[in-house]
Amino acid sequence: MSKYNEVFNRSISDPEGFWAEAAEGITWYRRWDKVLDSSNAPMYRWFAGGELNTCYNALDRHVEAGRGDQTALIYDSPVTKKIKKFTYKELQKEVALFAGALRGLGVSKGDTCIIYMPMIPQAVVAMLACARLGAVHSVVFGGFAPHELAIRIDDANPKVIISASSAIEVTRLIEYKPLLDKAIELANHKPQKCVIFQRDEVRATMMEGRDHDWAELIAKAIPAECVPVKATDPLYILYTSGTTGIPKGVVRDNGGHAVALHWSMKNIYDTQAGDVFWAASDVGWVVGHSYIVYAPLFAGCTTVLYEGKSVGTPDPGAFWRVISQHGVKTLFTAPTAFRAIKKEDPNGDYIKKYDLSDFKYLFLAGERTDPDTYHWANNLLGKPVIDHWWQTETGWPITANCLGIEMMPVKAGSSTKPVPGYDVKVLDSDGNKVEAGKEGVIAIKLPLPPGTLPTLWNADERFIKSYMDVFKGYYFTSDGGYIDEDGYVFIMGRVDDVINVAGHRLSTGEMEEIVATHPKIAECAVIGAADSLKGQLPVGLVVLKSGVDGDINQIKAELVKMVRGQIGPIACFKSVAVVNRLPKTRSGKILRGTMRKIADSEEYRAPSTIDDPAALTEIETALREIGYAKKQS
Ligand code: COA
Ligand code: AMP
């Protein structure tokens, strides 16, 4: 039996024994009473009764074990031309001081704090400081508009919001403080305090009494010790797009999270203490939480915090410069970042300029790695390129080539095999298992392994309904795909209204809700159309109210502005087509899937239940006019 099969089978046949062994990699104040508490299934709890502190496991224990002078964090910011390194000892000191500052503002165990920050070290410090106090952080990605931030403020009810004066998008300065002020104005819940880190590039105007300057607080703070929390206590909430405008607050616990992430570093990423690990993502996304901040630090690695892009900061050699300058062993990023490099440097001329001898593995996730991008990266780099599949909900990979167990042959287009702990199945719409090679929806047999979401914040019922009730005994992933005869998993895309734009998860349902509020719009649909750079882009199809006249381009521009204003620039909502009607079934269901196929020039067949087949021809013409449906059907 292969080593992978042996480890995988054990994880499924004896999950409690398997994860109890993995839990030895974590330092506990109190050992658990029960490895897996199934008494309230399908709400499972890992390591019930155990006590630990996540920040202690990320920092203090390494300092105590003699790793204090090793670099813990490298901040590399081509947009400000700064590089700053923090040893474990230095990071521990900064975090303890900021935790003390938060405590001084009244934050204690169980309180929530929102972090709305760019990719600067203070974002990492703020996350770890919350963990140190046992407070629950919720990081909101900086590309979200005030309206989105306000929704999260109202759901998380933060005691304190931590932010910075600005972000820098390549060369553009984006002031965060006015966005934060606007969000607080829009929200019903008003946080008592805000902490603002003033960047050199711009100083934010402070609100007397509410806003506190980061540096001033730190100057007088008393360092805080690590507060023991229960393994089952929440570490963070991370909001992610669902099918409606109300995001899902994915909860992560402390114990299962630490165990799973620590285990993953060795077994999936083949990484040891002292290695330099770089996840080129953003702390606002789950990849940033897990593999910029927590996992590399649990494992005693050096993590890289990169404030830049794969191109334009300053050129398509940016990633290779960082890898060679800091001795990066493992790079983890989204395929879209590689497609951007491929577009600007198709022959890999920039790769040749750098010494990449320390670089061993490239991991890709966030969307499917298309075979073209896989072959391009693999040929030019000559290193293993590993596609692995996961979701905000799981927090760590569901399928991967587990390099620390055994490297399996790579199949382009597949994210390889289920990671130990994940019993992945393909089901038909009735919940029956389908045969190898046949497409269906992907589900994971319960229980999920440690580190995956125990519930949604303040929404147990939504958690059960969205994930656990669809197929009894399974977690419903909302992804479709198949498993081939060799057990390789192929993820083909979402089966709901969630789309993936440049590795960012967005809800077309939410965009529709916004577009529908325009006074001149009678009806609308937003679909995700294929894009060679960003994977997918949203496209709006709108029907105007009868009698509406005026400048159609003006209406389109207003819609683009509304979505950008309410969700944010990362929605990339820029294409709108006006049609006389939307194609629907006789029962009134909008044929979004058929429209998506038309936009992507895929073959499609009008469903027998269609109300008016001519509507499809009209859609095709309208999409062609805005650059989609290029091939004649
Ligand atoms: N704050 C404010 N605005 C932001 C932002 C932030 N943190 N992040 C992105 N934006 C803005 C961008 O400036 C851009 O604005 P524009 O429409 O005015 O130009 C818009 O949001 C879209 O951003 P993006 O989709 O990132 O496009 P891009 O052209 O700037 O960059 C890529 C393209 C492919 C280089 C970039 O999307 C990328 O590297 N993606 C990888 C994503 C990733 O790491 N995902 C995590 C999963 S691993
Ligand atoms: P997020 O929650 O933002 O990480 O997005 C999760 C979604 O991204 C998944 O449900 C998939 O649709 C998609 N995704 C992530 N990684 C992959 C991958 N390696 N292959 C295919 N799809 C992926």
Are 137 and 126 in contact by the 8 Å Cβ rule? The answer is: yes
Does the beta carbon of 505 lie inside 6 Å of ligand 2? yes
pLDDT per residue over 226-244, tens digit each?
999 999 999 999 999 987 8
Q: State residue 260's pLDDT score.
A: 99
| Residue 255: HSE in the Cβ half-sphere, 13 Å Cα cutoff | 30
Are 502 and 508 in contact by the 8 Å Cβ rule? The answer is: no
Q: Which two tokens stand for residue 391?
A: 């979701």
- The DSSP code for 454 is S
Q: Which two tokens stand for residue 85?
A: 């390194």
Place of tokens 């892009």: 309
Give residue 296 CA to ligand 1 midpoint distance, Å.
Answer: 24
Are 231 and 51 in contact by the 8 Å Cβ rule? The answer is: yes
Instruction: Please tell me the distance from the alpha carbon of residue 444 to that of residue 270, in angstroms, as a whole number.
Output: 25
* Per-residue 3-state assignment (H helix, E strand, C coil) for 557-591: HHHHHHHHHHCCHHHCCCEEEEECCCCEECCCCEC
Give residue 423 CA to ligand 1 midpoint distance, Å.
Answer: 34
**Burial status of residue 434 (CB atoms within 10 A of its CB: 0-12, 13-18, 19 or more):** middle
Does the beta carbon of 389 lie inside 6 Å of ligand 2? yes
Q: Angle between the 592-599 and 614-625 helix axes, to the nearest 10 degrees?
A: 40
Which DSSP string corresponds to 591-630?
A: -HHHHHHHHTT------TTBS-THHHHHHHHHHHHTT---
Please give the radius of gyration of the chain, using alpha carbons only, rounded to the nearest integer.
24
Q: Any residues with CB less than 8 A from the CB of 413 and at least 6 apart, and which?
A: 368, 369, 370, 371, 374, 387, 490
Instruction: Please tell me the distance from the alpha carbon of residue 422 to that of residue 216, in angstroms, as a whole number.
Output: 47
β-strand pairing of 504-507 with 498-501: antiparallel
Question: H or E element: which one contains 165?
Answer: none
444, 456, 479, 498, best to mutate for ligand 2 pocket (most atoms within 8 Å of CB): 479
Q: Any residues with CB less than 8 A from the CB of 580 and at least 6 apart, and which?
A: 543, 618
Instruction: Please tell me the distance from the alpha carbon of residue 578 to that of residue 240, in angstroms, as a whole number.
Output: 30
Q: Any residues with CB less than 8 A from the CB of 49 and at least 6 apart, and which?
A: 30, 31, 32, 33, 34, 230, 231
Q: State residue 273's pLDDT score.
A: 98
β-strand pairing of 160-164 with 112-116: parallel
pLDDT per residue over 317-353, tens digit each?
999 999 999 999 999 999 999 999 999 999 999 999 9
Are 159 and 193 in contact by the 8 Å Cβ rule? The answer is: yes
- CA separation, residue 492 to residues 6, 385, 556 (Å): 28, 19, 31
Residue whose CA is closest, atom 11 of ligand 2?
A: 367
Instruction: Please tell me the distance from the alpha carbon of residue 288 to that of residue 15, in angstroms, as a whole number.
Output: 27
How far does Cα 275 stand from its chain's mean position?
23
Does the beta carbon of 119 lie inside 6 Å of ligand 1? no
Give residue 389 CA to ligand 2 midpoint distance, Å.
Answer: 6
Does the beta carbon of 241 lie inside 6 Å of ligand 1? no
Does the beta carbon of 560 lie inside 6 Å of ligand 1? no
Higher-pLDDT residue of 242, 177: 177
Q: How confident is the model at residue 608 (pLDDT cuts 50, 70, 90)?
A: confident
Does the beta carbon of 500 lie inside 6 Å of ligand 1? no
pLDDT per residue over 57-84, tens digit each?
999 999 999 999 999 999 999 999 999 9
Which DSSP string corresponds to 154-182?
A: HHH--SEEEEESEEEETTEEEESHHHHHH
Question: H or E element: which one contains 222?
Answer: none
Q: State residue 489's pLDDT score.
A: 98
Q: State residue 243's pLDDT score.
A: 78
β-strand pairing of 417-418 with 440-445: unpaired
Does the beta carbon of 404 lie inside 6 Å of ligand 1? no
Q: State residue 367's pLDDT score.
A: 93
Q: State residue 72's pLDDT score.
A: 99
Q: If you average pLDDT over every residue of the chain, what do you get?
A: 96
pLDDT per residue over 265-295, tens digit each?
999 999 999 999 999 999 999 999 999 999 9
Question: Cis ω on the peptide bond leading into residue 42 (within 30° of 0)?
Answer: yes
Give residue 391 CA to ligand 2 midpoint distance, Å.
Answer: 5
Q: What is the dihedral of CA 306, 309, 313, 314, to 10 degrees?
A: 120
β-strand pairing of 417-418 with 399-400: antiparallel
| Residue 103: HSE in the Cβ half-sphere, 13 Å Cα cutoff | 20
Instruction: Please tell me the distance from the alpha carbon of residue 436 to that of residue 533, in angstroms, as a whole number.
Output: 31
Q: Which two tokens stand for residue 177?
A: 């403080």
Domains and CATH numbers, the chain: 3-308+388-482 (3.40.50.12780), 502-625 (3.30.300.30)
Does the beta carbon of 391 lie inside 6 Å of ligand 1? no
Q: Cα angle at 476 between 20 and 255, to 5 degrees?
A: 25
pLDDT per residue over 516-569, tens digit each?
999 999 999 999 999 999 999 999 999 999 988 779 999 999 999 999 999 999
Does the beta carbon of 340 lie inside 6 Å of ligand 1? yes
Nearest to 239 by CA among 256, 252, 258, 257: 252
Does the beta carbon of 289 lie inside 6 Å of ligand 2? no
Q: State residue 374's pLDDT score.
A: 95
Q: Cα angle at 80 between 78 and 84, to 5 degrees?
A: 80
Does the beta carbon of 497 lie inside 6 Å of ligand 2? no
Q: State residue 335's pLDDT score.
A: 96
Question: H or E element: which one contains 544?
Answer: strand 535-544
CB atoms within 10 A of CB 89: 17
User: Looking at the predicted structure, is the pLDDT value of residue 162 above 60?
Assistant: yes
Residues of the chain with pLDDT > 70, as a percent, come to: 100
Instruction: Please tell me the distance from the alpha carbon of residue 258 to that of residue 64, in angstroms, as a whole number.
Output: 18
Q: How confident is the model at residue 139 (pLDDT cuts 50, 70, 90)?
A: very high
Give residue 18 CA to ligand 2 midpoint distance, Å.
Answer: 26
- In ligand 1, which atom is closest to the CA atom of 572? 22
Question: H or E element: which one contains 141?
Answer: none
Q: State residue 389's pLDDT score.
A: 97
Q: What is the sign of the dihedral through the CA atoms of 451, 452, 458 and 460? A: negative
- In ligand 1, which atom is closest to the CA atom of 167? 1
Give residue 505 CA to ligand 1 midpoint distance, Å.
Answer: 12
User: Looking at the predicted structure, is the pLDDT value of residue 104 above 80?
Assistant: yes
pTM above 0.85, yes or no: yes
Least confident window among 190-199, 417-426, 489-498: 489-498
Q: How confident is the model at residue 1 (pLDDT cuts 50, 70, 90)?
A: confident
Does the beta carbon of 169 lie inside 6 Å of ligand 1? yes
Least confident window among 363-377, 400-414, 561-575, 603-617: 603-617
277, 306, 315, 336, best to mutate for ligand 1 pocket (most atoms within 8 Å of CB): 336
Q: How confident is the model at residue 412 (pLDDT cuts 50, 70, 90)?
A: very high
Instruction: Please tell me the distance from the alpha carbon of residue 328 to that of residue 362, in angstroms, as a whole number.
Output: 10
Q: State residue 244's pLDDT score.
A: 80
β-strand pairing of 474-483 with 440-445: antiparallel
163, 309, 396, best to mutate for ligand 1 pocket (most atoms within 8 Å of CB): 309
User: Looking at the predicted structure, is the pLDDT value of residue 598 above 80?
Assistant: yes
Q: State residue 469's pLDDT score.
A: 97
Q: How confident is the model at residue 632 (pLDDT cuts 50, 70, 90)?
A: low
Least confident window among 128-137, 315-324, 573-582, 609-618: 609-618
Place of tokens 């046992």: 134
pLDDT per residue over 450-485, tens digit each?
999 999 999 999 999 999 999 999 999 999 999 999
Place of tokens 């095999």: 417
* Per-residue 3-state assignment (H helix, E strand, C coil) for 426-440: EECCCCCECCCCCCE
Residue type, 69: D
Q: State residue 607's pLDDT score.
A: 86
- CA separation, residue 354 to residues 53, 322, 326, 330 (Å): 40, 9, 12, 16
Higher-pLDDT residue of 242, 7: 7
Place of tokens 């789309």: 499
